[in-house]
Structure 1
Amino acid sequence: MIKQESYDYRRFALRILLVVTIFSATFFAIKNWISGWYSFAIMEGVIALFWLYILSIVSTTKHLERWSFIYLCTFYSLVLYGIYFTNYRSGLFAWLFIFPIISYLLLGRKVGTILTAISVFVGLGFLGRLVFQMNSDIHWIVMGNFGLCVIAIWSMVYVYESKSEAVIARLKEQVTRDPLTGLLNVRNLNDILVSVLYSAERRGESVTIAYIDLNDFKKINDTQGHQKGNEILLSVANTIKSITRAEDHSFRYGGDEFCIVFPNCTLEQAKNSYGQRLLENVHNELDQLTMSIGYAQTGPEAYLSPDDFIHQADKSMYAEKCAFKTKTS
């Protein structure tokens, strides 16, 4: 959700910038044609038409970052071309001030930094060329002030974007993680399963789910309190983290239920290796605690849908729980 909102925000920003710069490019194309700058006027007209095409697809394209990059490259190229072939009094150097702002606005910190560095230093290089040529329109003090202003704006935008990314990362962590255990929460299970199953089908690999339920957990909460129950849940979650691989996905499904998705892993491997270690480690940490674990495998010959896959693992867990109750009754 956070990522989508950020994506929509950049899409809206690109749309506004396109409208403004299409109008500006058209206006200056006419003005430059009248002033005799025919090649520059033709270039502005062609680029304005190209931006019109981008504007027509910006609301629906799935490649927003790519089109934003193309837009900025054409925009910066147009401005830098004008700076190189005109004089300081044309006012084109003023556009250098907004390069950092719109680069970070549309492309984020990493790509925005690279594009800003290239475009700003090329522009300042053209300014330095005029100073070196002893152009009467510009003095080295002017260039110094210009450069310092651009770098100051760039620094402020960089700090703002860095802090913004950090805030978004924290919010994303809060949305995707269970606050008690630190495991992924169930809202991400379906999306991750879709991705894992798609990758497994392309590679012809098996995927296994382990569905875990703590036995008699309600009795623990009722007799020992919810604080003790939370301590047990956290201990189980830490044990799950310790026995799973980097590519596995561990979830708190809800209450006292957990779920682990094992990519490129058969049911036998999950049960005999990870499941056995989980049972042993939990027994060593919490000797009074038992759990029921159900397993389900899909692939490599045929693949279940995410819902059917989870249902099969849940059904297997329920059978294990019924056997446990029968055994202890």
Structure 2
Amino acid sequence: MIETEEYGYRRTTLRVLLVVTIFAASFFAVTNWLAGFHLFSIIEAIIASFWSWILVISKTTQYLQRWSFVYLCTFYFLVIYGIMITNFKAGLFSWLFIFPILSYLLLGLKAGTVITFVSVSGGLAALGQLVWASNTEAYWIVMGNVGFTLAAIWSMVYVYEAKREEVVKYLKEQARKDPLTGLLNVRDLNGILTSTLQIAERHSQPVTLVYIDINDFKQINDAQGHQKGNEILLAVAKAIKKMTRVEDQAFRYGGDEFCIIFPNCVEQQVEQTFGIRLANEVHENLDKLTMSIGYAQTGPTNFCSPDSLIHKADKNMYLVKSTSKINI
């Protein structure tokens, strides 16, 4: 959700900038033609037409960052070229001040820093030649003012974008996690399981899914209160985290249900290692707790769909629950 909104924010920003700069380029194409800068006017008209095409595709393109980069390159080229062929009074150098802002808005921190460095360096070089040819006495005053102003804007935008991306990353992580247990949210299960199965199929590796249900959890909540229920959920989640590997993915599937993806593990291996270790860990803290555990394996040759694997593990868990309620 947050990632989609982040993508939408950059798309909207690009479209707004395109509308503004298409109008500006068209306006200056006319005025520069009248002022005698015919080649520059033709280049502006061509670029404005090209931007109009980008505006059309920007609403649906999957390559948003790529087209944003192309847009910025053409925009910065237009400004720098204009500075080189016009005079200082034209005021084209004023567009340099928004180079850092546009770069970070559209490309983010890493790509924005690179293109800002290149475009600002090129813009200052072009401006330096123009000022030196116009008034050598004012060279250091003009370049100092422009340079330090650009540095101040660049610094502020960099700090803002760095903090913004840090906050977005934190929110993404929080959105993926269950607030009580800290395990992954169930809404990511299908996507992560699909990705895991695709990788396993390419490498002919097995994948085992474990489905865990705490027996009589409702009765525990009713008899001992929700605080006790939360303590049990936290204890089970802590045990799961401790017993799983870095590459395993653990989810809180429902109120008292958990799902764990074990890449490159056969069912027997998971049952004899994870199951036993989880049993010992839970017994140390909750010796009267009973759980029903279902195992389901797919691969390494034939693979089922994510939904089928989940259904199979769920079915095996209910089979255990209905027959014996294995006490671990």
Q: TM-score, normalised by structure 1?
A: 0.91
Q: Whole-Å Cα distance in 1 between the matches of residues 183 and 244 of structure 2?
A: 12
Does 156-165 or 113-122 show the bigger shift?
156-165
Kindly provide the amino acid, as one letter, of the partner of residue 48 in structure 1.
A
- 2:320 touches 2:326 (CA, 8 Å); kept in 1? no
Q: Whole-Å Cα distance in 1 between the matches of residues 172 and 205 of structure 2?
A: 30
Q: Whole-Å Cα distance in 1 between the matches of residues 19 and 327 of structure 2?
A: 72
What is the RMSD computed on CA atoms of the aligned residues? 2.3
Structure 1 residue 178 and structure 2 residue 174: aligned? no
Write out aligned runs for 1:79-158 (5 A): 79-130=79-130, 135=135, 138-158=138-158
- State the identity %: 62
Q: Whole-Å Cα distance in 1 between the matches of residues 137 and 314 of structure 2?
A: 78
Q: State the Cα distance separating 1:131 from its structure 2 match.
A: 5.1
Does 183-192 or 281-290 show the bigger shift?
281-290
Structure 1 residue 309 and structure 2 residue 304: aligned? no
Q: TM-score, normalised by structure 2?
A: 0.91
Q: State the Cα distance separating 1:316 from its structure 2 match.
A: 0.6
The match for 2:15 is 15
Structure 1 residue 265 and structure 2 residue 260: aligned? no
- Residues 125-157 of structure 1 deviation map (CA, whole Å, 9 limit, x = unaligned): 333344555735943122212122222222222
SS of 2:302's partner is coil
Structure 2: unaligned runs, 5 residues or longer:
none
Q: Whole-Å Cα distance in 2 between the matches of residues 300 and 112 of structure 1?
A: 43
- 1:176 touches 1:185 (CA, 8 Å); kept in 2? yes
Write out aligned runs for 1:162-201 (5 A): 162-201=162-201
Q: State the Cα distance separating 1:11 from its structure 2 match.
A: 1.0
Q: Whole-Å Cα distance in 1 between the matches of residues 261 and 111 of structure 2?
A: 33
CA distance 1:105–1:122, shift in 2 (3 Å): same
- Residues 189-210 of structure 1 deviation map (CA, whole Å, 9 limit, x = unaligned): 1222222223333333322110
SS of 1:240's partner is helix
Q: Whole-Å Cα distance in 2 between the matches of residues 213 and 284 of structure 1?
A: 19
Does 188-197 or 166-175 show the bigger shift?
166-175
Kindly provide the amino acid, as one letter, of the partner of residue 207 in structure 1.
V
Q: State the Cα distance separating 1:326 from its structure 2 match.
A: 8.8
Residue-pair matches, total = 328
Does 271-280 or 319-328 show the bigger shift?
319-328
Q: Whole-Å Cα distance in 1 between the matches of residues 320 and 194 of structure 2?
A: 26
The match for 1:34 is 34
The match for 2:226 is 226
- 2:291 touches 2:325 (CA, 8 Å); kept in 1? no
